Amino acid sequence: MPQPYPLQRVLFVQKAELIDQQKTLVYQQLTDALGPLAITCISSPDAVEARSHFDAVITPTLPWLPDLLHRLDSYRWLHFLSAGVEKIWPMDFDKHNVLLTKSSGVHGPAMSEYALGAMLYFAKQFGRFHDQSQQRQWQRTWLDELTGSTVAILGLGHIGQTIAQRAKAFDMTVWGTLNHPRPMPQVDQVFSHDQLYAQLPEVDYLVVCLPLTPTTHNLVNQDVLAQLKPGAVLIDISRGGIVSASAVLQALDSGVLKGAALDVFEHQPLPETSPLWARSDILLTPHVSGTTPYYLERALDIFIQNAQQLALGQAPITPVDVAAGY
C-alpha cells in the first residue's frame, strides 16, 4: 500500500492574463478543503525562487513548464489542469519518478451539453432556420428527432459516460467503445473499436471523445466514415488528429454524412484556407466545447480528491498512465 502523502507546499501555475483572477479561488478552495497550506501562485518560470521545493505543482500544459520544473530543487506531484496531456510527452522533464495526475472529468458537463446541442442543431435544422430568418424567409419543413435514434460514442471515459447519460434522457439507443469492453450504466452495448465498425451502418450520430495517442491518430478515417448510415452526423470533441479532415469532407460531399460538428483540428487555429470553413453542413467551433465558467473550480476539486486519497495512503483517482500516453 502507498504511504500517506503529506501536503504542505503547493505551487499554482497559470498564464499571466489569468493568474490574478484565479488566485483568490485557488487559495480559498484549497485551504477550505485541505486546511492550512503554503500556496504560491506564479505566471512565469522566474517568478519562483530558484531551488524551491514543493509537494505539488498544479499547472496547465504550458510550453515553458520544463523551464519552471528545472528551476525547482524538487517536486513530488504534478497535477495538470487539463484532462488531455498529449502536450507533455515531448517536454523535457521527468515523467517517471514523480506522481502525475490530470483533471479527468472536468469537461464532462460542458462537453456533453455541446454534443447533445450539436445533435439537436442538425436534427432540428437550426442552421437552416437561422439563415432563413436573416433573409426573412418563411419556409417550413419536417424535422428529425433524437428519440429512437442511435448514438455511438468513441471513448467511454468521463466525457463519454456523461454524454451517454444525457443521450439516454432523450430516449436514444446508446453504444460506446472501450479498449476492454465491459457493461456500463446508461450504455446499451459496449464494444471495442474494431467491434463497433461492424455496427456503423446502424449509427445516426457518431461522437468522438478519445484521447490523442499514437494508436488513435487518424483513427476516424475514410474507411470508418464510409461505413456509417447515409445521413449520419459526426461530432468531434476529442483532439485534433484523431478525425481525418479530408475524410470528413469526402463523406459530406458523398452524402454519407448529413453534417459534422467539429470543435478540434490537427492544426489550430484552423487556417483561413481550410476547406472546412463556410460550409452549411459543418458546425465549426474554435475548440470551445469544454469551456465553462466552472472549469477551474472543477479542476481544483479533482486535485483535492486526489490529495485526500493520497493523504490516506491510497492511489489517486485520476492518474496519468505514462505507458498508455494519457
Q: pLDDT digit string (tens) for 251-298?
A: 999 999 999 999 999 999 999 999 999 999 999 999 999 999 999 999
pLDDT in tens, 78-92: 999 999 999 999 999
Question: Which residue type does 306 have?
Answer: N
Domains 9-106+292-311 and 108-284 share a fold: yes
**108-284, what's its fold?**
Rossmann fold (3.40.50)
Mean pLDDT of the residues in the chain:
97
pTM score, whole prediction: 0.92
- Of the pLDDT bands very low, low, confident and very high (cuts 50, 70, 90), residue 1 is very low
Contact between residue 230 and residue 254 where contact means Cβ atoms under 8 Å apart: no
CATH of 9-106+292-311, one of 3.40.50.720, 1.10.10.60, 3.40.50.970, 1.25.40.10: 3.40.50.720
pLDDT in tens, 23-52: 999 999 999 999 999 999 999 999 999 999
Rounded distance between C-alpha atoms, residue 290 and residue 153, angstroms: 17
> Residue 219 contacts by C-beta under 8 Å, 6 or more apart in sequence?
154, 193, 210, 242, 243
Rounded distance between C-alpha atoms, residue 54 and residue 69, angstroms: 10
Question: Which residue type does 189 have?
Answer: Q
Residue extents of the structural domains in the chain:
9-106+292-311, 108-284
